[in-house]
Amino acid sequence: MVPLLETLLVAVSILSLGVSLWILREPLLAFNIPPAIRHPVRFWILHCLMQLTFTWGYVLEKLGICSMPRFVCFLHDRLTIKNNREVVVTDLRFGTIPVRLFRPKAASSSPRRGILFYHGGGSIFGSLDSYHNVCSFLAQETDSVLLSVGYRKAPEHHYPVVLTDCLNASIHFLKTLEAYGVDPSRVVACGESIGGGAVAVITQILLGRTDLPQIRAQVLVYPVIQAINLQLPSFRQNQNVPFLSLQLMMTCVCSYLAIDLSWKDAMLKGACIPRDFWNKHRKWLSSDNLPKRFRSKDQQPETLAPFNEAAYLETKHILDVENAALIAEDQIIAQLPEAFLVSCELDMLRDDSLLYKRRLEDQGVRVTWYHVEDGFHGCLVLFDKMFFSFPCSRNIMNAVVNYIKGL
């Protein structure tokens, strides 16, 4: 019996190795590392591990064991080492929404600053655990009470759960600031990727709530600001850059918005956008609003494919302001608090940040812009990952800390 078991284990190991090498054949042979990346070998190894993780996740999904996103989150959560003894961490529930509270252990003679944090992950990845160290570091270094929101995710849950969970948790926190020792005049909303998009939308929604403390500032780290104009220069230039390829981004968008992937080409070509909508909002969505240095010399103006009524009916919620903070009316934008915007040169979403920066500044909102030439999407969460940390990861984290401390 023992020899048989050993034989099976060897066979499984050989099979796993063979499948893994087959999975990695493309990143091993065809992957081009952007010249601006610091530590290219480290970047390449991380990319290979990511490809391997995704593919094994799809294998498990096909076998009916677990979904690919759940497998990826499981591994990511296990790689997070929580070791900050200077911060008191408490897991809570606001109704059905899991949240995690981070408070500096040192005593304070006055109420502290508050931070609302919404994690990234494209609505299918990310968790309270995977962003634990980001939140712990922010709380300690800025001497703030930080609330991280564990919103529900796709593929089990769809639009608008990310927004509603973050909004409801934020409202509850804002109503009970005194219980957590938070100064109501110093609450900052902070988010990364889709969490940054949630910051933009929720800050707009809360403007009308006179019964709540107003948000002091918004911190948006390479945020998702819209999914309407997918022909921006950064989409074309960075569509194959890890760790947010065009394919992965469309998978995340369609999964969250419950759009069948068969409509992907129509979305990319703009066939689902009514012409009257484009004519009204082009002044905010067009690449004409980008600084010249971010526009290719041979860049052609956005050209929409012929309008497809069926595509519009299946995808029309991408046109809702709840999914596109960029298209809010001027009177809303003009009332927003000051913003700290982070953009990364090697990020497909780079131009989203630039368009929102222009939109805010045109309405007189103060914007502090931090652009990272060697930055890529998702790099923030790597800031403490030792071998897999990059200079851009630490630089963004330090920039966010310094901005919040300066408020």
- Sequence-distant (6+) residues with CB within 8 A of 102 are 87, 88, 89, 135, 136, 138, 139, 145, 146, 147, 148
211 is catalytic: no
DSSP-based three-state secondary structure for 250: helix
234 is catalytic: no
Q: Locate 266 and state its tokens.
A: 């129509």
Annotated catalytic residue 377: yes
Burial code (b: 16+ CB inside 10 Å, e: under 16) for 100-110 equals bbbbbeeeeee
SS3 at position 282: helix
Bond preceding residue 243 cis, omega within 30 of 0: yes
Q: Give the torsion sign (CA, 358, 319, 152, 255).
A: negative
Crossing angle for the helix pair 2-23 and 40-62, nearest 10 degrees?
120
Catalytic: which of 234, 377, 384, 393? Answer: 377
Active-site entry in 170, 193, 234, 393 = 193
Contact 126, 120 (CB under 8 A): yes
CA distances from 277 to 226, 273, 307, 327, 339 (A): 14, 7, 12, 11, 27
Out of 165, 347, 351, 352, the active site residue is 347
Q: Among all residues, which ones are annotated catalytic?
A: 193, 347, 377
